[in-house]
Chain A
């Protein structure tokens, strides 16, 4: 997946709380990670309508480490456990909402090493933030298909074992919103799909 056209400049996020542990330096915006060839990382890609294959069972993990959520974007299976962990010696909270800001949960996680487990029953994008440290944000994509992935640092993704057929390849990125394009998987061999996004289709 690649970005075409101009590259937006995103402001760094100032660290304004718990500098003793989180450090003083401003955090670069995590919203846009581009490879040299403009491969777009941290985008979610999934196949709509592909049958077969089992949903990964998890457990998935989400860490808060050095006052950042890791990973920044990940795909989790619908109904599968997500273990949230605090690896810092400060209080974090995990405030999960839908994109439309409807509350899913808001849990405190005060102790270093503490974990709790949540499951997500509604497929779709979940926005995560820590209200204590406003620069801390992250995204989950709750998938009800096994063919869902996050693009890697080079903007690549792959779905092994997709049954042959024609599907809609859907993508989501926090800056560009949801897009879709058709893709056909042949009976043998691999299908290749290139997705190009540009600021012009940015929807949010």
Chain B
């Protein structure tokens, strides 16, 4: 009898039954969690966008298929077969028609050729008879010979005229035959192509429909919940960016952009339409030629998205990614109104209206649609789209201008011209020319009285001035603030005039203001200056406010100073960029008379001069003295100092306090350091380090900056500060457009945190172009010249003064390829008027460029046109035949009718009554100025070098049908048979030995333009002036080309 085995002595630390229960409960609990998790993951925002994109993509493909399908009937196949049969039949028919037409064309051509021969002979006969008649007529008009010659001539003339008609008719028949042949051939070809296209459409349609059907089913399985863990087609898309980093609290981590996870459309062409795809996330990135595309300079694989746009690279959530609306500031502003129930002016507001306005902002819409909020933990959110070009600056800091980023370029111009960089160090902008005038000799230019009133409010004198206002701003309000301000102004003025060098200027003759006005309008002043009371500042897109607005000068300067200044600007201020216009004393007198007669702004005349307040002055002196001395000592000093000494002391301290010397050269401050905060990497400055004071401004970098730039002292509001602590930034009176531009430029100043290989190269041709653009910008070349297709704004002023634009400064285009670098160097160094276009009243001024600038400009022009630099081909030997042909052709084409070949010829043309404006450049110096190769190219295709030029096309392009670039032809070969050309023909045959060769030469646009070029090259060329006798054909050597510096 078996006994039940005793229970095993296994040591259970748990109760299985209980455990089973725990497991059961846990799994019941975990199940919904798992379901919730799966649902959450399945429903992540980015997936929704990817789905939408996929949906759009499919819709687009389907639409494309539908279009393809529309071209195909349901009974497509049968129809195709039918069409093919028909096509073949037609083709056969066409073929025979074509061959008939060909025969017809041949026949009519033959007929025409005969008629043409007849016509030519008749013409020659008639010409001979005419000559005969003319000679006889001249010798003895009444003789019988003359009469019979006349009869002959008239008979032959009649027969010639008859032959003309025959020839024309034959020609018309031939043309008609050719036309109908061409038409038939085209019909045939069109039919073939249409058939082929329908075939291709049909095939493509079938193929795509197949893939779509297959992928439709597969897509849903693949991306279903849970199954999507295996190989989803919806997945996070990322790109690792080598050499680009994130700055995570002193740690660098590689950037990995995931933006494309939602922005799937960015890379794909075909989603550009804003109406079809209103959400930018589903649209193609604009300008794929510049961005994203792998063939663009900024391919996605290298730069990703965040290196330009900013934002958090790895985020796949709308807010976390750092999206930033354009109008967050406005939204917050409205929110404050809603809370307080009144607007800025204290007027009550309607809550519903404010709410509605809030909802209409981009910020409001984002909050509603995407639950957007400011991500406090994100130090580098994206640039709002209005400032998106800030992203360019990070790498393109060393560029002189930003032609493809308009707002950044404007901001950069403002930062440069308003002198932001003078007080705030900005890497890359350190070595610009000082923006303010040199004040080391200010006492010889203006008066203390004017200076004081100017300092009170510069805009009262010139509404558009770039000088900011330092005084009478909000943090010096009230009686005592104004007394202090007046004391400071008086001190500064006293200091400037005390330290100023003294000079006296010679008297200016009595001038005529009317003549001065004409000079002002014609000589070129208006490229850089306006003279307009009340003008608004316009420097973002303008060039004519490069120099000051010339109004109210009679209140500011003496005629003597102005005369001396115009005669030699560098004589007064060695750093000035005002060039020398080489004006005569008489011209200067006229110009001074005109400028001194220009009106002034009325508000300046009414303004009062500030007076120093003794008490405030003593307090100020004491305040400064106690920084280094005890109060007792300071008080003793104050008691001892004369009022003048106190003024000078205050002046020096205030100039130092406000950093006036950063923009102006001021004696005693030669080595002083700028007072502003360095802004080189301001774009990375953490927001929590910015002092928002008590001002209601959203806590973002952009909003802080806008407030600071617009109302620089506003962060002092409601603060208790000592004089020394008060904010010092002056008021630039920026317009809202200017603020936005400045914002873009300053936000862009970020750490250059990237591998060297990714940095913009500043060497080679690119470097030369940037260096040149820098000089062009500093000296405002585009005020007068259209250069790189921009500028030439003086034309506006000339138009207003009703001056013929043919007299405007030349358009600079292809200059590097056109002129010799040596010539350009010499010309820029010492321009002379009257050498090339003596009729121009506008003068290229003397800028007194230094050798670096001269070399910079010459290499810039060469680099723009990819021309050889610095060594060019120096041609000193010419092919005698080419030169001789050139001389003959030059005469035949009557080039000299417009182009004087020497200064004498120019004088002669003027005496003969020609209007200078109708003439073309004098060619005497062409060989010292122009590039040898260029001359021929210009003669061949002037309209391509300079669209709209008055130089006519002598070698037109043949019309070879649409889309085909026509060959250029020389109409000279057929013209050679004209009687007017008999002389030329004889000469050319003499040079070439045979008519056929002469015609071949002159009928070749390349060779004949080179011949013309050789002739032009020889004009006024001392080495070549003795004409060499043309040698017999085939014995000359090829032209020697000697390379020389």
Contact of A112 among B897, B943, B971, B980 (CB under 8 A): B980
A95 partner residues in chain B, CB cutoff 8 A = 950, 952
Contact with A along B952-966 (1 / 0, CB 8 A): 111010010000000
Report the nearest A residue to B806, measured CB to CB: A131
B898 interfacial by beta-carbon distance below 8 Å: yes
Q: Establish whether residues B971 and A114, one from each chain, have CB atoms under 8 Å apart when the complex forms.
A: yes
Contact with A along B910-938 (1 / 0, CB 8 A): 00111100100000000000000000000
Q: Establish whether residues B952 and A107, one from each chain, have CB atoms under 8 Å apart when the complex forms.
A: yes
Q: Establish whether residues B979 and A113, one from each chain, have CB atoms under 8 Å apart when the complex forms.
A: yes
Most chain A Cβ neighbours within 10 Å, of B897, B912, B952, B956:
B952
Report the nearest A residue to B919, measured CB to CB: A17
Known contacts: A16-B913, A90-B897, A116-B956. The answer to whether A131 contacts B950 by CB under 8 A is yes
A108 interfacial by beta-carbon distance below 8 Å: yes
Q: Establish whether residues B897 and A134, one from each chain, have CB atoms under 8 Å apart when the complex forms.
A: no
B895 partner residues in chain A, CB cutoff 8 A = 91
A93 interfacial by beta-carbon distance below 8 Å: yes
A81 to B724, CA, bound (A): 83
Report the nearest A residue to B912, measured CB to CB: A19
In chain A between 79 and 135, which residues have their CB closer than 8 angstroms to a CB of chain B?
89-91, 93-95, 101, 103, 105-114, 116, 119, 131-132, 134
A113 to B980, CA, bound (A): 8
Contact of B893 among A19, A89, A103, A110 (CB under 8 A): A110
Q: Establish whether residues A131 and B918, one from each chain, have CB atoms under 8 Å apart when the complex forms.
A: yes
Q: Establish whether residues A105 and B953, one from each chain, have CB atoms under 8 Å apart when the complex forms.
A: yes
Closest beta carbon of chain B to A121's beta carbon, Å: 9
A109 to B955, CA, bound (A): 11
A101 partner residues in chain B, CB cutoff 8 A = 948
A94 to B952, CA, bound (A): 8
Known contacts: A106-B943, A132-B898. The answer to whether A114 contacts B952 by CB under 8 A is no
B948 partner residues in chain A, CB cutoff 8 A = 101, 103
Q: Establish whether residues B898 and A111, one from each chain, have CB atoms under 8 Å apart when the complex forms.
A: no
A8 to B950, CA, bound (A): 31
A18 interfacial by beta-carbon distance below 8 Å: yes
Report the nearest A residue to B955, measured CB to CB: A108
Q: Establish whether residues B894 and A91, one from each chain, have CB atoms under 8 Å apart when the complex forms.
A: yes
Closest beta carbon of chain B to A163's beta carbon, Å: 27
Report the nearest A residue to B168, measured CB to CB: A59
A95 to B952, CA, bound (A): 7
Most chain B Cβ neighbours within 10 Å, of A108, A109, A113, A134:
A108
Q: Establish whether residues A111 and B952, one from each chain, have CB atoms under 8 Å apart when the complex forms.
A: no
Q: Establish whether residues A16 and B914, one from each chain, have CB atoms under 8 Å apart when the complex forms.
A: yes
A15 to B953, CA, bound (A): 24
A94 partner residues in chain B, CB cutoff 8 A = 952
Contact with B along A4-47 (1 / 0, CB 8 A): 00000000000111110000000000000000000000000000
Q: Establish whether residues A91 and B893, one from each chain, have CB atoms under 8 Å apart when the complex forms.
A: yes
In chain B between 978 and 995, which residues have their CB closer than 8 angstroms to a CB of chain A?
978-981
A16 to B943, CA, bound (A): 26
A89 partner residues in chain B, CB cutoff 8 A = 980
B912 partner residues in chain A, CB cutoff 8 A = 17, 19
Closest beta carbon of chain B to A100's beta carbon, Å: 12
Contact with A along B876-912 (1 / 0, CB 8 A): 0000000000000000111101100000000000001
Q: Establish whether residues A111 and B897, one from each chain, have CB atoms under 8 Å apart when the complex forms.
A: no
B947 interfacial by beta-carbon distance below 8 Å: yes
Report the nearest B residue to A15, measured CB to CB: B913
B975 interfacial by beta-carbon distance below 8 Å: yes
Closest beta carbon of chain A to B229's beta carbon, Å: 63
Known contacts: A17-B913, A90-B897, A91-B897. The answer to whether A134 contacts B952 by CB under 8 A is no
B1045 interfacial by beta-carbon distance below 8 Å: no
A150 to B249, CA, bound (A): 82
A110 partner residues in chain B, CB cutoff 8 A = 892-894, 954
B949 interfacial by beta-carbon distance below 8 Å: yes
Most chain B Cβ neighbours within 10 Å, of A19, A95, A109, A111:
A111
In chain B between 630 and 685, which residues have their CB closer than 8 angstroms to a CB of chain A?
none
Q: Establish whether residues A106 and B978, one from each chain, have CB atoms under 8 Å apart when the complex forms.
A: no
Q: Establish whether residues A114 and B918, one from each chain, have CB atoms under 8 Å apart when the complex forms.
A: no
A109 to B947, CA, bound (A): 19
A17 partner residues in chain B, CB cutoff 8 A = 897, 912-915, 918
A19 to B894, CA, bound (A): 15
Q: Establish whether residues B915 and A16, one from each chain, have CB atoms under 8 Å apart when the complex forms.
A: yes
Q: How many residues of A contact B (CB 8 A)?
A: 28
B975 partner residues in chain A, CB cutoff 8 A = 111, 114
Q: Establish whether residues A103 and B947, one from each chain, have CB atoms under 8 Å apart when the complex forms.
A: yes
A101 to B948, CA, bound (A): 9
Q: Establish whether residues A108 and B893, one from each chain, have CB atoms under 8 Å apart when the complex forms.
A: yes
Closest beta carbon of chain A to B954's beta carbon, Å: 5
A132 to B951, CA, bound (A): 10
Q: Establish whether residues B892 and A103, one from each chain, have CB atoms under 8 Å apart when the complex forms.
A: no
A52 to B490, CA, bound (A): 87
Known contacts: A16-B913, A17-B918, A91-B897. The answer to whether A119 contacts B959 by CB under 8 A is yes
Report the nearest B residue to A116, measured CB to CB: B971
B915 partner residues in chain A, CB cutoff 8 A = 16-17, 134
A138 to B36, CA, bound (A): 83
A117 to B97, CA, bound (A): 30
A16 to B980, CA, bound (A): 25
Report the nearest B residue to A97, measured CB to CB: B948
Q: Establish whether residues B949 and A132, one from each chain, have CB atoms under 8 Å apart when the complex forms.
A: no
Closest beta carbon of chain A to B974's beta carbon, Å: 9
Closest beta carbon of chain A to B285's beta carbon, Å: 33
Q: Establish whether residues A107 and B897, one from each chain, have CB atoms under 8 Å apart when the complex forms.
A: no
B943 partner residues in chain A, CB cutoff 8 A = 103, 105-106
B981 partner residues in chain A, CB cutoff 8 A = 111
Report the nearest A residue to B916, measured CB to CB: A16
A157 to B979, CA, bound (A): 40
A116 partner residues in chain B, CB cutoff 8 A = 956, 971
A131 partner residues in chain B, CB cutoff 8 A = 898, 918, 950, 952
A19 to B912, CA, bound (A): 8
Q: Establish whether residues A107 and B956, one from each chain, have CB atoms under 8 Å apart when the complex forms.
A: yes
Q: Establish whether residues B947 and A19, one from each chain, have CB atoms under 8 Å apart when the complex forms.
A: no
Q: Establish whether residues B959 and A107, one from each chain, have CB atoms under 8 Å apart when the complex forms.
A: no
B971 partner residues in chain A, CB cutoff 8 A = 114, 116
Most chain A Cβ neighbours within 10 Å, of B892, B947, B948, B979:
B948
Known contacts: A19-B913, A103-B947. The answer to whether A108 contacts B980 by CB under 8 A is no
Report the nearest B residue to A108, measured CB to CB: B952
Q: Establish whether residues B918 and A132, one from each chain, have CB atoms under 8 Å apart when the complex forms.
A: yes
Known contacts: A111-B975, A113-B980, A119-B959. The answer to whether A132 contacts B897 by CB under 8 A is yes
Report the nearest A residue to B889, measured CB to CB: A110
Closest beta carbon of chain B to A171's beta carbon, Å: 29
B892 partner residues in chain A, CB cutoff 8 A = 110-111
Report the nearest A residue to B915, measured CB to CB: A16
Closest beta carbon of chain B to A84's beta carbon, Å: 11
Report the nearest B residue to A86, measured CB to CB: B980
A103 to B947, CA, bound (A): 8
Closest beta carbon of chain B to A186's beta carbon, Å: 37
A103 to B942, CA, bound (A): 13
A93 to B895, CA, bound (A): 11
Closest beta carbon of chain A to B525's beta carbon, Å: 27
Most chain B Cβ neighbours within 10 Å, of A95, A106, A112, A134:
A106
Contact with A along B311-323 (1 / 0, CB 8 A): 0000000000000
Known contacts: A17-B914, A90-B894, A116-B971. The answer to whether A107 contacts B980 by CB under 8 A is no
Q: Establish whether residues A106 and B949, one from each chain, have CB atoms under 8 Å apart when the complex forms.
A: yes
Q: Establish whether residues B978 and A113, one from each chain, have CB atoms under 8 Å apart when the complex forms.
A: yes
User: Which A positions have Cβ atoms within 8 angstroms of B?
Assistant: 15-19, 89-91, 93-95, 101, 103, 105-114, 116, 119, 131-132, 134
Q: Which 4 A-B pairs have the closest CB atoms?
A: A91-B894, A108-B952, A93-B952, A131-B950
> Could you pull out 8 A-B pairs where Cβ atoms are within 8 angstroms?
A17-B897, A17-B912, A19-B913, A103-B943, A106-B953, A108-B893, A112-B980, A114-B971
Q: A18-B897, A93-B952, A131-B918 are in contact. List 15 more A-B contacts (CB 8 A).
A: A15-B913, A16-B914, A17-B913, A17-B915, A17-B918, A90-B897, A95-B952, A106-B952, A108-B953, A109-B952, A110-B954, A111-B978, A112-B980, A113-B980, A134-B915
